[in-house]
């Protein structure tokens, strides 16, 4: 077996009193794809920085293969000395790297390369940092939240790019679907230690729950053992005559073990403050449009949103999701058309930039608006520290400035204030940013169970599928359409519409040539021998290609293959790419022939 590219063993690190890492370990072999998961604040990013050599452990063994190239996705890029984004990305290339990949990666991430670093938004800077680590195709990629600030199209491209890449990966992400598609192993960082599952993230949650259940059973056994030992000490015949010092010491050890056990981190408790019911009609938009310069962002869009609807907005960055959201909620006037808001609306809004956060404000002051030590939730006064605990903040953090919080903690803080406000209409712009998966689960339940109306913007496909009742998506040139269901439902409906358009195309062509748009009663048109042969044999060929693809994907998932047989790895990767292209062509050809056959038989 090939030696690991990276090996961290028994890593210890303590900030303040509680150890952050207390025996963490991770080993990465060539070609492995590892999801590093854990709660916000568990130390995932710190462990990744130690792996990259950007932070030091207080104890433990660290090995990095000297010949291996390692790239770490920086949260805050250092732009000093770079006039353009392209120059910054090209500076990350090694002597043997292909400079042509720079333009390709930048294009897929929505950048030209000519942007000036000082003019970049936070999202653009993040994408530029991602381009710098992806362009070289290093031996090992360390990615901390690579999907942040990416739209769905870019996330899907990134998934495909990482699946094709020969690089080994360690990635931290809150995007479930991304981890399920890319990862082949999972390392769980929990209470300072790591556990490894040699399966992808799709299998993680069931495994984690079993581990925690077993842990709970062990603690119950330990508690019963302590009770038995205490009973022996009090009532045992031997104990009354002469204390058994060794057994007494064992009891003290058991008590200490039970007392010092760090159970699994708690979960946030989320519930929205109730407001009185809104009217049945929440929003009615008629033929609204918005243009910036010469570019139509929204064109002739109409919708009726009723109480209880949960609507998701999706689309590429810059497509106009936030603009449409603001028009629907009355925050922005349309150029043409009208928006009517319903009666008795109490709107609570979460913007994607977390604009309400003042870095110098304390947590308690932010939650109470500076009005003492209490916050009113569902009409009841609660002490701010008690309310903070619902969102996993410690009592001592009440006087902590916002600037000292992590991204996940800031997201939880904004949600805590939002949910304390009485509302019957939630407007959420990228609510899932920086939330860990457990908190995402609770937010999902909140949205599902909310008695009012929810309109949200998100790039999290899994979250959309689990929460929304309909999805609004851009179709190009300012046109937006509403689809029933979540993101996956939208894709299925779009595919069905495309099939209908293809079926209608022959009739439209006949009409354009002066013939009737309706098929004639009888037709002498028949499939040729070649077409019949293809129609009969293509399904077999498609099935064979699918099996070959599955076999190659299985072989390429071997983490040792890349180092053991590099030429073989490259050959199989090229063959897999060719097979996928051929499969797409065969499916397209079969679909066209099948529609032609249906048309002839229908005539």
Buried b (16+ CB within 10 A) or exposed e, 41-66: bbbbbbbbbbbbeeeebeebeeebbe
Place of tokens 């099996």: 547
What six digits make up the tokens of 434? 């920086």
Place of tokens 């009737």: 516
Say if residue 550 carries a ligand binding annotation.
no
Say if residue 38 carries a ligand binding annotation.
yes
Contact call for residues 212 and 264 (beta carbons, < 8 A): yes
Say if residue 42 carries a ligand binding annotation.
yes
Torsion (CA) 444, 201, 165, 578 in degrees, nearest 10:
-90
- List Cβ neighbours of 464 (8 Å cut-off, separation of 6 or more): 312, 314, 458, 471, 486, 487
Residue by residue, DSSP assigns 395-455 as GGGGG-BGGGS-HHHHHHHHHHHHHHS-BSEEEEESTTTT--HHHHHHHHHHHHH-SSEEE
What six digits make up the tokens of 308? 């209880």
Say if residue 280 carries a ligand binding annotation.
no
Round to whole Å and give the CA distance between 208 and 197: 9
The SS3 call for residue 596 is helix
Say if residue 317 carries a ligand binding annotation.
yes
Say if residue 320 carries a ligand binding annotation.
yes
Say if residue 210 carries a ligand binding annotation.
no
* Crossing angle of the two packed helices 529-556 and 566-602, in degrees rounded to 10: 150
The SS3 call for residue 274 is strand
Cα–Cα nearest to 457, from 592, 447, 6: 447
- List Cβ neighbours of 412 (8 Å cut-off, separation of 6 or more): 40, 268, 391, 392, 393, 435, 439
Contact call for residues 250 and 232 (beta carbons, < 8 A): no
Say if residue 501 carries a ligand binding annotation.
no
The SS3 call for residue 289 is strand
Element housing 592 (H / E): helix 566-602
List the strands of the sheet with 70-72, edge to edge: 70-72, 140-144, 168-172, 33-37, 185-190, 193-197
Say if residue 40 carries a ligand binding annotation.
yes
Give the single-character DSSP code of 187: E
Please report how many Cα atoms fall inside a 13 Å half-sphere around the Cα of residue 44, on the Cβ side: 26
Contact call for residues 338 and 288 (beta carbons, < 8 A): yes
What six digits make up the tokens of 107? 């294009």
Contact call for residues 89 and 122 (beta carbons, < 8 A): no
Sort strands 59-64 and 347-350 into parallel, antiparallel or unpaired. unpaired
Say if residue 486 carries a ligand binding annotation.
no
Say if residue 322 carries a ligand binding annotation.
yes
Say if residue 45 carries a ligand binding annotation.
yes
Say if residue 420 carries a ligand binding annotation.
no
- List Cβ neighbours of 230 (8 Å cut-off, separation of 6 or more): 251
Cα–Cα nearest to 428, from 394, 462, 453: 453
Place of tokens 């397209």: 588
Cα–Cα nearest to 426, from 341, 349, 356, 352: 349
Say if residue 181 carries a ligand binding annotation.
no
Known binding-site residues for ATP equal: 38-45, 315-322
Binding residues: 38-45, 315-322
């Amino acid at each position: 077996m090939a030696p690991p590219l990276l090996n961290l063993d028994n890593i210890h690190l303590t900030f303040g009193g509680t150890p952050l890492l207390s025996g963490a370990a991770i080993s990465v072999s060539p070609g492995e794809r590892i999801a590093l998961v854990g709660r916000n604040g568990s130390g995932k990013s710190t462990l990744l920085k130690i792996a990259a050599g950007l932070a030091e452990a207080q104890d433990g063994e660290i090995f990095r293969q000297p010949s291996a190239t390692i790239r770490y996705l920086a949260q805050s890029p250092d732009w000093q000395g770079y006039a353009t984004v392209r120059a910054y990305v090209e500076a990350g290339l090694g002597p043997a790297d292909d400079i042509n990949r720079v333009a390709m990666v930048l294009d897929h991430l929505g950048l030209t390369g000519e942007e000036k670093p000082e003019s970049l938004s936070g999202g653009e800077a993040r994408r530029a940092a991602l381009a710098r680590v992806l362009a070289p195709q290093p031996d090992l990629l360390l990615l901390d939240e690579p999907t942040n600030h990416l739209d769905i199209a870019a996330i899907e491209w990134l998934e495909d790019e990482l699946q094709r890449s020969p690089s080994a990966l360690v990635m931290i992400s809150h995007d479930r679907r991304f981890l399920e598609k890319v990862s082949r192993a999972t390392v769980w960082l929990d209470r300072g230690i790591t556990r490894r599952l040699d399966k992808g993230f799709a299998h993680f949650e069931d495994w984690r729950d079993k581990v925690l259940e077993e842990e709970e059973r062990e603690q119950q056994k330990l508690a019963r053992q302590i009770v038995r030992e205490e009973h022996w000490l009090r009532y045992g015949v031997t104990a009354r005559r002469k204390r058994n010092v060794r057994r007494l010491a064992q009891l003290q050890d058991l008590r200490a073990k039970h007392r010092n056990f760090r159970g699994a981190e708690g979960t946030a408790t989320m519930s929205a403050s109730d407001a009185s019911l809104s009217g049945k009609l929440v929003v009615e938009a008629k033929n609204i449009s918005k243009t910036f310069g010469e570019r139509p962002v929204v064109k002739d869009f109409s919708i009726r949103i009723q109480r209880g609807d949960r609507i998701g907005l999706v689309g590429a960055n810059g497509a106009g999701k936030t603009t449409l959201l603001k028009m629907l909620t009355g925050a922005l006037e349309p150029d043409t058309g009208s928006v009517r808001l319903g009666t008795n609306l109490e709107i609570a809004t979460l913007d994607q930039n977390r604009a309400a956060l003042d870095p110098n404000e304390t947590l308690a002051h932010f939650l109470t608006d500076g009005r003492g030590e209490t916050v009113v939730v569902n009409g009841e006064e609660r002490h701010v520290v008690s309310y903070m605990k619902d969102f996993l903040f410690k009592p001592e953090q009440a006087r902590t400035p916002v600037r000292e919080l992590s991204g996940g903690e800031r997201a939880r803080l904004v949600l805590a204030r939002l949910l304390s406000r009485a509302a019957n209409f939630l407007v959420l712009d990228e609510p899932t940013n920086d939330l860990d998966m457990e908190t995402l689960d609770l937010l999902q339940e909140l949205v599902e169970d909310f008695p009012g109306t929810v309109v949200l913007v998100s790039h999290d496909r899994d979250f959309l599928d689990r929460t929304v009742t309909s999805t609004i998506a851009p179709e190009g040139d300012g046109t937006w359409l509403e689809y029933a269901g979540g993101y996956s439902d939208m894709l299925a409906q779009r595919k069905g519409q495309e099939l209908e358009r293809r079926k209608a195309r022959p009739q439209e062509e006949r009409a354009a040539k002066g013939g009737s748009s309706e098929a004639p009663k009888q037709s002498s048109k028949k499939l040729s021998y070649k077409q019949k042969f293809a129609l009969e044999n293509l399904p077999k060929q498609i099935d064979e290609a699918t099996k070959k693809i599955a076999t190659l994907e299985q072989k390429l998932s071997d983490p040792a293959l890349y180092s053991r047989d590099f030429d073989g790895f490259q050959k199989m990767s090229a063959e897999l790419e060719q097979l996928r292209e051929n499969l797409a062509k065969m499916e397209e050809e079969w679909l066209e022939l099948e529609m032609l056959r249906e048309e002839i038989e229908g005539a």
